[in-house]
Copies of this chain bind each other. A is one copy, B any other.
Amino acid sequence: MQVITTVKEMQALSKKMKAEGRSIGFVPTMGALHEGHMSLVRSSINDNDITIVSIFINPTQFGPNEDFNRYPKDHKGDMKKISALNVEAVFLPGVAEIYPKGFSTFLYVGGIGGVLCGASRPDHFNGVATVVAKLFNAVMPERAYFGQKDFQQTVVIRKLVKEMNFDTDIIVCPIVREPDGLAMSSRNAYLNEEERMSAVILNKALHYGRELMLSGREKQTSSIRAKMDALIKSAPLVTIEYIEIVGPQYLEKMKDVTFPAVICLAIKIGNTRLIDNIIVRSDEQSAVSFQQREKM
């Protein structure tokens, strides 16, 4: 497995692979890899001739008071996990390679970048779009893999790809969860024992909301959100940032219960901000095959 640190070398490898007619799958990560990331890597290996994994903690997607400086790092563990799989290369650029002195070119994603997480993290998705565009131009993948856990991010990136004409298919893979239902996240490492126990409330609240939606008894999303709010507040150490029920493509807030919908939430447990979501389809929609659903 190669380790590549410059954009030029990355492009040289990708062009060589493309000239040989080999398809490239790409998994961009910020490291501290867990089973969620590894499921993306396995999907990529399954779908493509070669797979590239990048590890880059992107400073421009962190706000001034966020956790950029203490974001979990596990270089040794990451390399061990990746090298156990059939990955062609790890792209490991330094910050000065991605953002050299004088850098001032940014992508702005507009509307859907300003709602949900974007409301409290105003430049987050602009930073995500900027680094993803740069990484796509470095790796030139046929397909790139993202986890559904960052649902808004997948919507932003699909829009970025469509609107900037990137010739890359975006594949969204299901959320991987701990046995008790907590969505895997590098930030789970911040939680102490008590906080970790409280964190189960995210997934519980999502399933509660889903059941209320499917029951047919609740017609308004406002009452579902209120009931979820009350449930989440019953857990200790928790502050709610948002609970929203939105459309899956444009993230518009829904007033009446309709399907498909996505229940998204962001809460703080102690100092740790966690997000989670669930896609809710009517029973009829749920009968559609997984592949089709993921294209929704």
Contacts and interface: CB of A to CB of B under 8 A. Distances in A.
A165 B15 CA distance: 14
A104 interface: yes
A167 B137 contact: yes
A201 interface: no
Size range of the chain A interface in the assembly = 20 to 34
Contacts of A159: 104-105
A199 B18 CA distance: 50
A202 interface: no
A164 B21 CA distance: 25
Contact of A108 (B15, B18, B106): B106
Contacts of A108: 105-108
Contacts of A134: 163-165
Give the copy number. 2
B107 A105 contact: yes
**Considering residues A18, A137, A140, which has the most beta carbons from chain B within 10 angstroms of its beta carbon?**
A137
A160 B107 CA distance: 11
A105 B159 CA distance: 8
A133 B133 CA distance: 10
A57 interface: no
Contact of A106 (B11, B110, B138, B250): B110
Contacts of A19: 21
A105 B138 contact: no
A116 interface: no
Given A134-B164, A165-B7, A165-B138, A107 B106 contact: yes
Contact of A167 (B11, B21, B110, B160): B11
A290 interface: no
A259 interface: no
Nearest to A166: B137
A216 interface: no
A54 B34 CA distance: 46
Nearest to A18: B18
25 contacts: A7-B165, A11-B167, A15-B167, A18-B18, A19-B21, A102-B250, A103-B163, A104-B109, A104-B112, A105-B108, A105-B109, A105-B129, A105-B159, A105-B163, A105-B164, A106-B110, A107-B108, A108-B108, A133-B164, A134-B164, A137-B164, A137-B166, A137-B167, A138-B165, A140-B167
Interface of A: 7, 11, 15, 18-19, 21, 100, 102-112, 129, 133-134, 137-138, 140, 159-160, 163-167, 250
Given A105-B160, A107-B108, 12 more contacts: A11-B165, A11-B167, A15-B167, A19-B21, A100-B163, A103-B163, A104-B159, A104-B163, A105-B108, A105-B164, A106-B110, A140-B167
